[in-house]
Structure 1
């Protein structure tokens, strides 16, 4: 994603930072030092911080395309699922994509507040699906999107810590939704 208004050299630096961060996050997790990211990108730490003032901003930028994809996929399949199943599949996909980088789950709530198109898309789609399931009388009215993000983070952390198979995500999402069901 090209950031509007950047000079060509600034955009090249931004792209190098994103590539280096993606590589390092995949290799060693979201907790890798930002100094290491700057070194791998061959930019100064000040250049990195000018573009990405926090680790969470950098995580949001590197997760942008995955988040957009999760939201787009959810909207595309929504017509074919009842509200509960649509929400379940969205939560599984989000937990799976949160597990891409080790330790991303611990800061997911903060990451999705960083205003990238993917962050907006994830938030909007999750809120839409939750509201739809609540209006259908499937999910409790007191459940919020923030609650969902908190529990999706916990699911992703549990799977990461256990070294469990990804299929465990579906089981844990089912437990989450069971607890959120209207009784």
Structure 2
């Protein structure tokens, strides 16, 4: 799904615009880690030493900015998942990917609650993350290990729920494996 906020197909940026974009991303990443995903966009613009209008021209919504700061991490998760192909059974592959998505969603406070929306953004990492989740899900379904009525949106809901439990202190990161296992065992075809 292509987002209206996608920058993938835009013309290359002028050098000054590219520098501003990079400064915004660096400031956003730092402030998201320090204060969480709800940090003021004005504070991000100030930290990046750009005007708020410059920030909004590049990233018209908070979700677009969160997606852009997540791109590299999501692309790395997808690359790691692809590298496991042939080395893991379908359910083990999807289990590993779901755990990694939960860990990504908890890397900064507040991202878990916005994960589903952020993954709808048209950035390369967001598209790749959704596509990889869908691919792994279909692979597990073809193998007969996961029910056919489970969708990628179901997986994202579960990732969000587990990440929120971790973020809000209801579960420790060490319980992520247990919670992911409970879900995947619950959607299995042999119950």
Q: Distance in 2 between matches of 1:58 and 1:13?
A: 13
Per the normalisation by structure 1, the TM-score is 0.96
Corresponding residue number in structure 1 for 2:95: 88
> Where do 4+ consecutive residues of structure 1 move more than 2 Å?
1-4
Q: Distance in 2 between matches of 1:86 and 1:100?
A: 21
1:83-133 deviation digits (Å, cap 9, x = unpaired): 000000000011111111111011111101111111111011100000000
| Aligned match for 1:8, one of 3, 9, 15 | 15
Q: Which runs of 5+ in 1 are unaligned?
A: none
More helix by share: 1
CA apart distance, 1:164: 4.0
Pairs aligned (count): 183
Corresponding residue number in structure 1 for 2:106: 99
1:120 aligns with 2:120: no
CA apart distance, 1:73: 0.1
RMSD of equivalent CA atoms: 1.5
Q: Distance in 2 between matches of 1:164 and 1:23?
A: 25
1:35 aligns with 2:42: yes
Q: Cα gap change, 1:12/1:172 in structure 2, threshold over 3 Å: closer, same or farther?
A: same
Per the normalisation by structure 2, the TM-score is 0.92
Q: Which moved more, 1:164-173 or 1:38-47?
A: 164-173
Corresponding residue number in structure 2 for 1:58: 65
